[in-house]
Each structure stands twice: as structure tokens, then as C-alpha cells.
């Protein structure tokens, strides 16, 4: 049985996107027969195995090793994860594992530089230096120094890890060209729990008084929710927009935008949704929207879990026409695409779906069939196969 240490400074289980993604991945690995040793800081509820997030029992092959969560202590200075890195490496040395799987760049950098002899497989979710450059278009001298350090760290981890798994498919070409990588790279997009999505009855749609347009997810600027709110000016007046997710400060900011656009009475903010209820929220919607912006991470380097969850729920979906979405779905086949950042185009596309139940059903059925290739199980199969093959080649004296 393959034994993997899954390491990250984010507590698991937890409701943040990173922890949710790791928990689903580990559970799928466990269902394939892999022994997964999770090494994370202690979460808020250390007696939980994440069933409230997964919607089912966690695989018995997944075990948790909790370390002191120093950042929870009021007296701990700063936000450094170094105490966790140190304790995690000591614990790792006591475990009999075949490989380490890690998605945190600093964590991977620490293990590799401290001389860990266990093969490390790094999972990359974005081009870190490009994201930093985009967030800091006019760098100060201090920011330029941080950028140089980040680029050196990213290069070091990519070059010295035993293997590399990229989540956004378009990231592979970037890391090869930017860092000259020749090693084999596995492409493993995020996934969706198909069974959890299927248990919700579509008949729930009948319990609404008016058509519902839904956005579910974080409210980062690159997600494009501002454009969606602007689009409500032109969306059919009988429809309402439901925005689920996001922190309170960001919600208040978007509420003010809705007021300025004179659509506040048609925009409902429901706040954070418990992970176990997200498919229930999706199922009530008539149209689901992913209005990504043209920011680098959105346009090329995202593997949107919410898109897959919309698809698994058999929903009619509107997405921004971007390389990051075209790699997963096709316009007029599984989804309808709108021009990026164009509120009028977004409204027109939403209205087209609201006007035709037949079109909504047709696109939703195609989306549900398409998303079967993006289950968490298939993702885990890709990763496990990649690691097993690499370990065999390594032992054979590659």
C-alpha cells in the first residue's frame, strides 16, 4: 500500500477553500487504497473527521497528526509558520511513508532545503511570481526584493521536488517555459463530489417565487462579482441575484455597489454557506454564474471548483469567455459564455437562459455528463498513478 504524508500549514478539516480541496483529495486517495498521513496544525474541532464538509464518512485510510497551532495563541508574535515546519519535519522523520505531497510553497521549500530524503511531490495552483507581479504593478524596492526571493523559491521547489502536479491545465506550459522544466508533470484539475451533488432533487426549483441567478464562492475582486451586480440593471426585472459566500466587509462593499446601481432590492447576500449545504443552495438556482475577470489567475490559472459543482448539479451556467474556462467547457454546448467584464453581455446571456427552460435543461444535462471526468476520484487516480510510477522509476535507478 502506498503511504503518503500530506502536509500543509492550513488546519484540516476546515471550511476554507484550501482545506476543503485537501480533504476531498485525501479522501479520494484513501478510497483508492492509499494510506494518507495528514500533518497539519490542530483545527478548531479536532474531534471532527470532516464528515460535515464531505457529506459522507472520511476514508479509514486517512489519519490525522495534529501539531500545535501556534497562530491561535494571542501571545505568538507575527504570522510565521516556521514552528509548524520544524515540528512537521520532526514528525515526518518518525513516519514510514513513501512520499510527501504538499501544496504550500514555503512548506515544500523548507523540507527540500533541510535535507528531507523522502521524495516530495509538489502541487502547484498558480504561477506565484506572476500573481505577485500582477498584485504589485509598481513595486517598491522592498517589494522587488520579495519578488526576487519568491521567484528563487518557486524555481528551487520546481527543480528539486521529485515531481510536480499542476492544478490549472494551462499552468504546465508556463512552468516549463519560465523555469525550463524537463521533468514529467501531472495535470490534475480540481474535482467535484458527484454523489453529493446528485442527492439533491431538482424539484426544489418549484419552491421559489421568482427566478434566481446565483453566484456561490469567494468575493475576491478577480471573481468578477462587481460585473454581475452591474448586469442586474439589464437582467429581466422579475429575476433576483443571490450572492452566497464572502467575508462581511466585502459583502458590505458589494451591497453599496448594488445600491448605487439601483438594484439593491433584487440582490440578496446570504453570507457564508456551510460546506454541506452548498449543493442545496445551487439546486434552488435557475442560472448559475461564474463571472471571472481578465486577471491572470482568473483568465488562465484557475481550476474552479464552483464551476464543477454547478455542472454536477445539472445547472444552466454562464461563464466568462476565458482560456481558463474554455479548457473545461465549450460555449453553447455545456455552458453559455459572456464577454469578460461586460455587464451588458452578461445580462443578455443570463436573460437568454431565463427565457428558455428547455435551453436550461439541455445545457444542464450536457454539463452534468461532461463533469464526470472531473470527479475527485479521477483527480486522485491521476496523482497516485503519477507518484507510483515515479517511485518505481526512481528505485530502478532513473
pLDDT at residue number 131: 87
Set of cell numbers at residue 126: 498558480
132, 150 contact by CB (below 8 A): yes
d(CA 66, CA 10): 11
At 329 the pLDDT is: 97
Cell 532545503 belongs to residue: 113
**Residue 358: DSSP 8-state:** H
> For residue 68, what pLDDT is reported?
86
Distance separating alpha carbons of residues 212 and 69, to the nearest angstrom? 41
Q: Which pLDDT does position 78 carry in this prediction? A: 59
Contacts of residue 114, Cβ cutoff 8 Å, sequence gap at least 6: 89
What CA–CA distances, in Å, run from 23 to 20, 73, 370? 5, 25, 23
CATH tag for 194-373 (out of 3.40.50.2000, 2.30.110.10, 3.40.1350.10, 3.90.226.10): 3.40.50.2000
Write down the residue that cell numbers 458590505 correspond to.
252
CA 87 to chain centre: 27
pLDDT per residue, tens digit, the chain (398 aa), is 899 999 999 999 988 889 999 999 999 999 999 999 999 998 887 677 888 888 889 999 999 999 988 766 645 555 678 889 999 999 999 999 999 999 999 999 999 999 889 999 999 999 999 888 888 889 999 999 999 999 999 999 999 999 999 999 999 999 999 999 999 999 999 999 998 888 765 545 545 679 999 999 999 888 999 999 999 999 999 999 999 999 999 999 999 999 999 999 999 999 998 888 889 999 999 999 999 998 877 788 888 899 999 999 999 999 999 999 999 999 999 999 999 999 999 999 999 999 999 999 999 999 999 999 999 999 999 999 999 999 999 887 55
CA distance linking residue 121 with residue 266, whole number of Å: 47
Q: Are 347 and 233 in contact (CB under 8 A)?
A: yes
Alpha carbon distance, N-terminus to C-terminus of the chain: 22
* Boundaries of every domain in the chain: 3-191+375-395, 194-373
**123 forms bridges with which residues in the sheet?**
165
- State residue 80's pLDDT score: 75
Return the pLDDT at 187: 97
CATH topology identical between 3-191+375-395 and 194-373? yes
Q: How far apart are CA 193 and CA 396, in angstroms?
A: 36
The packing angle between helices 105-113 and 82-94, to 10°, is 60
Contact 34, 382 (CB under 8 A): no
Q: Which set of grid coordinates corresponds to residue 205?
A: 426549483
Distance CA 385, CA 186 (A): 9
Q: What is the pLDDT of residues 248-298, one digit of tens each?
A: 999 999 999 999 999 999 999 999 988 888 899 999 999 999 999 988 777
CA dihedral sign of residues 154, 158, 164, 170: positive
How confident is the model at residue 297, as a pLDDT?
76
Q: Which of 150, 146, 143, 159 is nearest to 128 (CA)?
A: 150
Q: State residue 72's pLDDT score.
A: 65
Model confidence pLDDT, tens digit, residues 134-158: 888 899 999 999 999 999 999 999 9
Q: For residue range 211-227, list pLDDT tens digits in order.
A: 999 999 999 888 999 99
Report, at the CATH architecture level, how domain 3-191+375-395 is classified.
Answer: 3-Layer(aba) Sandwich (3.40)
Q: Is 55 left (phi over 0), alpha (psi -120 to 50) or beta?
A: left
Q: How deeply is 138 buried, as exposed, middle or buried, from its count of CB atoms within 10 A (0-12, 13-18, 19+)? A: exposed
Sheet holding 62-67, edge to edge: 62-67, 35-41, 3-7, 99-102, 120-124, 163-166, 185-187
Cα(328)–Cα(224) distance, rounded to whole angstroms?
19
User: What pLDDT, on the 0 to 100 scale, is given for residue 396?
Assistant: 75
Residue 206 is predicted with a pLDDT of 47
Q: From CA 10, how far away is CA 40, in angstroms rounded?
A: 6
DSSP label at residue 58: P
Amino acid at each position: 500500500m502506498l503511504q503518503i504524508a500530506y502536509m500543509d500549514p492550513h488546519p484540516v478539516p476546515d471550511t476554507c477553500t484550501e482545506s476543503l480541496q485537501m480533504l476531498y483529495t485525501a479522501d479520494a486517495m484513501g478510497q483508492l487504497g492509499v494510506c494518507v498521513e495528514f500533518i497539519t496544525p490542530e483545527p478548531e474541532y479536532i474531534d471532527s473527521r470532516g464528515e460535515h464538509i464531505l457529506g459522507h464518512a472520511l476514508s479509514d485510510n486517512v489519519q490525522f497528526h495534529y501539531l500545535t497551532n501556534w497562530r491561535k495563541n494571542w501571545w505568538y508574535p507575527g504570522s510565521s509558520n516556521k514552528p509548524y515546519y520544524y515540528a512537521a519535519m520532526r514528525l515526518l522523520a518518525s513516519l514510514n511513508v513513501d512520499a510527501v505531497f504538499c501544496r504550500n510553497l514555503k512548506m515544500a521549500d523548507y523540507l527540500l532545503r533541510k535535507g528531507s530524503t523522502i521524495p516530495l511531490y509538489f502541487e502547484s495552483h498558480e504561477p506565484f511570481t506572476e500573481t505577485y507581479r500582477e498584485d504589485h504593478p509598481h513595486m517598491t524596492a522592498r517589494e522587488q526584493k520579495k519578488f526576487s526571493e519568491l521567484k528563487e523559491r518557486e524555481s528551487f521547489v520546481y527543480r528539486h521536488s521529485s515531481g510536480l502536479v499542476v492544478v490549472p491545465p494551462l499552468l504546465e506550459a508556463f512552468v516549463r517555459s519560465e523555469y525550463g522544466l524537463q521533468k514529467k508533470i501531472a495535470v490534475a484539475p480540481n474535482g467535484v463530489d458527484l454523489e453529493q451533488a446528485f442527492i439533491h432533487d431538482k424539484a426544489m426549483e418549484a419552491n421559489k417565487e421568482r427566478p434566481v441567478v446565483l453566484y456561490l464562492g469567494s468575493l475576491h475582486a478577480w471573481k468578477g462579482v462587481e460585473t454581475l451586480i452591474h448586469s442586474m440593471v439589464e437582467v429581466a426585472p422579475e429575476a433576483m441575484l443571490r450572492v452566497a459566500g464572502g467575508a462581511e466587509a466585502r459583502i458590505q462593499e458589494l451591497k453599496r455597489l448594488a445600491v448605487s446601481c439601483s438594484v439593491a432590492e433584487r440582490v440578496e447576500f446570504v453570507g457564508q454557506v456551510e460546506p454541506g449545504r452548498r449543493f442545496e443552495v445551487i439546486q434552488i438556482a435557475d442560472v448559475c454564474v461564474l463571472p471571472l475577470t481578465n486577471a491572470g489567475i482568473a483568465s488562465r490559472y484557475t481550476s474552479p471548483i464552483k464551476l464543477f459543482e454547478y455542472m454536477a448539479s445539472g445547472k444552466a451556467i454562464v461563464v466568462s469567455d476565458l482560456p481558463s474556462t474554455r479548457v473545461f467547457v465549450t460555449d453553447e454546448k455545456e455552458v453559455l459564455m459572456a464577454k469578460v467584464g461586460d455587464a451588458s453581455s452578461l445580462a443578455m446571456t443570463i436573460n437568454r437562459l431565463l427565457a428558455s427552460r428547455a435551453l436550461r435543461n439541455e445545457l444542464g444535462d450536457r454539463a452534468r455528463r461532461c463533469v464526470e471526468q472531473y470527479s475527485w476520484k479521477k483527480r486522485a487516480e491521476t496523482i497516485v498513478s503519477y507518484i507510483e510510477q515515479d517511485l518505481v522509476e526512481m528505485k530502478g535507478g532513473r
